Chains A and B, each alone.
Chain A
Amino acid sequence: MAYSIMIVGVGGQGTLLASRLIGDAMVRAGRDVKVSEVHGMSQRGGSVVTYVKYGDRVDSPIVDLGEADLILSFELLEAARWLPYLKTGGKLISNDRRIDPMPVITGAAKYPDGIDAAIRAAGADLTLLDALSLAVAAGSAKAVNVVLVGVAARQTDIPKEVWLESVRETVPPKFLEMNLKAFELGYAYGDK
């Protein structure tokens, strides 16, 4: 059975890089891997989801309702939106950031209160963290994705060295030091 990860967020938050990083680490660890991405229109500020699956053998590249072992959410409302994809007993890690979708900005809809409580009430194992502050501490608000990958890395059986190698291979050299720091901060948080 493949281990299934969903990475969800808002277009522009860097979810694609996160899925590539995780996929790369799994390949290094010798697993069969499939990663499914979404390009094009929904990348422009829409709700975006990418899937990473690994194991001895992976057939479908997508994760369906009730199948995700781990959901890594870059934004709180998106965590709630994609919760039905979490497997019973699965783990949900979410950035606590709020980004209003356009219907909320225009006043046509309301951003719900108490999202974390509602997710927990539905029986999900939720870890909520301020990944933006950790990213800023690492040197850039843009490093939120690598912080979150660091947190998620702790949920896997892949050694830290493999993860660090993937960060080195995946991010642009110019931002390597900052991203390594972001990964370390996330990795340390994931231990809590």
Chain B
Amino acid sequence: MKQLMLGNEGIARGLYEAGVRVVSSYPGTPSTEATEAAAKYPEMRCEWAPNEKVAAEVAAGAAIAGARSFCSMKHVGMNVAADPMFTMSYEGVNAGMVMLVADDPGMHSSQNEQDSRHYAQASKLLMLEPADSEECRVFTKTAYELSERFDTPVIIRETTRIAHSRSLVNEEERVELPLREYKKDPGKYVMMPAMAKGRHVIVEQRTLAERAFAETEAFELGLNRVEYNDTRVGVIASGICYQYAKEALGDRASYLKIGTVWPLPDSALKDFASRCETVWVIEELDGFIESRCLELGLEVLGKDKFTLLGEYSQQMIKQVVTGEHSPYVKPGLDIPGRPPALCAGCPHRGLYYALKKIGCYVSGDIGCYTLGALAPLGMIDTCICMGASVSALHGRNRADAANAKNSVAVIGDSTFIHSGITGLVDIAYNRTDSVVIVLDNSITGMTGHQQNPTTGKNIYGEPAPAVSIEGVARAVGIQRVRVVDPYDIKECEDAVREELAADGPSVIISRRPCVLLKHVKHEPPRKVDREKCRSCRQCLKIGCPAISMRDGKAEIDFTQCVGCDVCKQMCRFGAIVD
């Protein structure tokens, strides 16, 4: 029976069937489930790496050692992995190596909307883009064949709606492959100038061969496809945009569906364009395919009519191409927005409220705790990328030493391991009196609870050595290291004030496990004594989604409250009771 799988699960199935042995990734929405699903197949050894650069290097080492390998990342993770990626393009592989990158148009859970297709062109790596979960499986298997045939890592690119949509997937048997023999070959595997010059020649020849493949065999293999219907409208699309266009236009258009996003099949682009009256290139984010069409001198419509921003949809495509749209109604209401919020009982809340009382500058980072930027806490000043909280705080304090008395960095446990440690080394080595707060909730939270090197467990939940955050801080030269309980607002406030006042850099670890973890015991929901409640709204200032005003008094939602008692510390009238 066909199985209903996420695109990411289709990728994992493809890995399994392709005989992959080694998987190393750092979680990142919308890529995470590929590695989580891969870990359910015992034939593959899967790992959460400290960051994407490490993951890509592990995959590279495994591929050179002769095992088919895989690493996955979100689009911004590819920035971190870019260093090994660009040089692995020169070295090539031994056994196949595939990298998955998941872009997030519309930024459901990301800090930018970068289009990772540019990376394929820039690093000169073959890139495939599937359009549903079955293609995720099949393209993944094909990617390993191509990786070994062309001696190159291959990138598979998804977008959120491919990664996080479920569709039907066939299942085939796994092929068990012996390890390929490693042969010492410094000309290929040691990239220093003399060798790299030779390898660059091979890379350019390879790209030509890959383009020839994309123009011919890729059509026979089903990676690329032409569907001729009404030729007055031609659509060139890949991935999810092909699905949107199919739904919007059906048989009223012809399609060139592209799976080989890089190198693009030039001759097929030309041929298709010559057979259709009006040719649209429909692609989310940048005009990547369109640019190639324009280079080839083809007359196409694209980003003149379609936005560079956000996600597309079938109605948008129908509207732009045909001018039609489906009717719809709106309620005559002013509907307030519902931005995401820190969960009821989230340990970050108490710490943030303490920072709010102090009124300090907060150098922020990437994770659930970025939500501390939103009202009513509003306690993050900057958020750039993973790890930047720590190093950017150092820069701020270097710009003006007086800033150090009123500025902190906040960073999660997983993010600290990912790229916070190097920033902390900088603080210790180049010495600013910076205060770094590690929000240790004992899990990688935002991506859906992945283990990390601080949690004491590996991806399988098996016991693993736990990196001590205190130990790392001391080892790099931070002498002032302390731990606070973020459910205790006063303790947090006192600790931060003391460390801001002290000379020398400090690390404060705000430690309490994520309340959504299964092993965390919840207290019974608290109640509001309506007699005692003075309607002062003080309890609402912590921004707990479980507390709201009902009929003039505060009320606690019993379905959400976990009894963390942070709100109790806000009430001066003892109105919040067990």
Q: Are B167's CB and A61's CB within 8 A?
A: yes
Asked whether A47 and B338 contact (CB < 8 A) given A36-B165, A84-B329, the answer is: yes
The 8 closest A-B pairs by CB, nearest first: A40-B109, A66-B326, A40-B29, A46-B340, A66-B328, A109-B336, A101-B338, A61-B165
Interface contacts (Cβ under 8 Å), in number, total: 215
Interface size on B, residues (CB 8 A): 68
- Interface residue A189 (Cβ < 8 Å from any Cβ of B): no
Q: Are B325's CB and A62's CB within 8 A?
A: no
Q: Are A39's CB and B243's CB within 8 A?
A: no
Q: How far is the CB of B547 from chain A (nearest CB, A)?
A: 7
Bound CA span A41–B343, Å: 11
Q: Are B332's CB and A60's CB within 8 A?
A: no
- Interface residue B330 (Cβ < 8 Å from any Cβ of A): yes
Q: Are B548's CB and A41's CB within 8 A?
A: no
Q: Are A60's CB and B244's CB within 8 A?
A: yes
The B-contacting residues of A in range 78-136, CB under 8 angstroms, are 78, 80-81, 83-88, 99-112, 115, 118-119, 121-124, 132
Q: What are the interface flags for B355-377 relative to A under an 8 Å C-beta threshold, 1 for contact and 0 otherwise?
A: 00000000000001011001110
Binds B, one of A26-34, A156-164, A177-185: A26-34
Nearest B residue to A13 via CB reads B559
Interface size on A, residues (CB 8 A): 66
Q: Are A64's CB and B340's CB within 8 A?
A: no
Complex interface: chain B residues within 8 A of A39 (CB): 29-30, 32-33, 108-109, 164, 447-448
Bound CA span A59–B161, Å: 12
Q: How far is the CB of A3 from chain B (nearest CB, A)?
A: 14
Q: What are the interface flags for B373-387 relative to A under an 8 Å C-beta threshold, 1 for contact and 0 otherwise?
A: 011100000000000
Nearest A residue to B29 via CB reads A40
- Interface residue B461 (Cβ < 8 Å from any Cβ of A): no
Nearest A residue to B244 via CB reads A60
Q: How far is the CB of A7 from chain B (nearest CB, A)?
A: 13
The A-contacting residues of B in range 1-35, CB under 8 angstroms, are 1-4, 6, 29-30, 32-33
Q: Are A65's CB and B30's CB within 8 A?
A: no
- Interface residue A173 (Cβ < 8 Å from any Cβ of B): no
Q: Give the interface centre of B1, B32, B167, B240 by most chain A CB atoms within 10 Å.
A: B167
Q: What are the interface flags for B125-143 relative to A under an 8 Å C-beta threshold, 1 for contact and 0 otherwise?
A: 0000000100000000000
- Interface residue A24 (Cβ < 8 Å from any Cβ of B): yes
Of the residues A10, A36, A103, contact of B164 by C-beta under 8 Å: A36
- Interface residue A58 (Cβ < 8 Å from any Cβ of B): yes
Q: Are A36's CB and B343's CB within 8 A?
A: no
Complex interface: chain B residues within 8 A of A38 (CB): 108, 160, 164
Sample of 8 A–B contacts (CB below 8 Å): A34-B132, A37-B166, A41-B368, A44-B343, A67-B326, A102-B545, A118-B331, A121-B331
Q: Are B165's CB and A83's CB within 8 A?
A: no
Of the residues B327, B335, B446, B557, contact of A80 by C-beta under 8 Å: B335
Of the residues A20, A58, A60, A65, contact of B326 by C-beta under 8 Å: A65
Complex interface: chain A residues within 8 A of B371 (CB): 41, 44
Bound CA span A60–B557, Å: 37
Q: Are A141's CB and B341's CB within 8 A?
A: no
Complex interface: chain A residues within 8 A of B30 (CB): 39-40
The A-contacting residues of B in range 105-156, CB under 8 angstroms, are 108-109, 132
- Interface residue B211 (Cβ < 8 Å from any Cβ of A): no
- Interface residue B315 (Cβ < 8 Å from any Cβ of A): yes
- Interface residue A138 (Cβ < 8 Å from any Cβ of B): no
Q: Are B330's CB and A45's CB within 8 A?
A: no
- Interface residue B247 (Cβ < 8 Å from any Cβ of A): yes
Complex interface: chain A residues within 8 A of B448 (CB): 39-40, 43
- Interface residue B339 (Cβ < 8 Å from any Cβ of A): yes
The B-contacting residues of A in range 141-172, CB under 8 angstroms, are 141-142
Asked whether A80 and B545 contact (CB < 8 A) given A35-B165, A101-B337, the answer is: no
Q: How far is the CB of A158 from chain B (nearest CB, A)?
A: 15
Of the residues A35, A46, A65, A122, contact of B331 by C-beta under 8 Å: A122
Complex interface: chain B residues within 8 A of A102 (CB): 338-339, 341, 374-376, 543, 545
Q: How far is the CB of B40 from chain A (nearest CB, A)?
A: 16
The A-contacting residues of B in range 254-303, CB under 8 angstroms, are none
Nearest A residue to B346 via CB reads A44
Complex interface: chain A residues within 8 A of B557 (CB): 99
Complex interface: chain B residues within 8 A of A61 (CB): 132, 161, 165-167, 240, 243
Bound CA span A105–B344, Å: 13
Complex interface: chain B residues within 8 A of A43 (CB): 340, 448
Complex interface: chain A residues within 8 A of B368 (CB): 41, 44
Complex interface: chain B residues within 8 A of A121 (CB): 331-332
Q: Are A123's CB and B548's CB within 8 A?
A: no
Q: Are B336's CB and A103's CB within 8 A?
A: yes
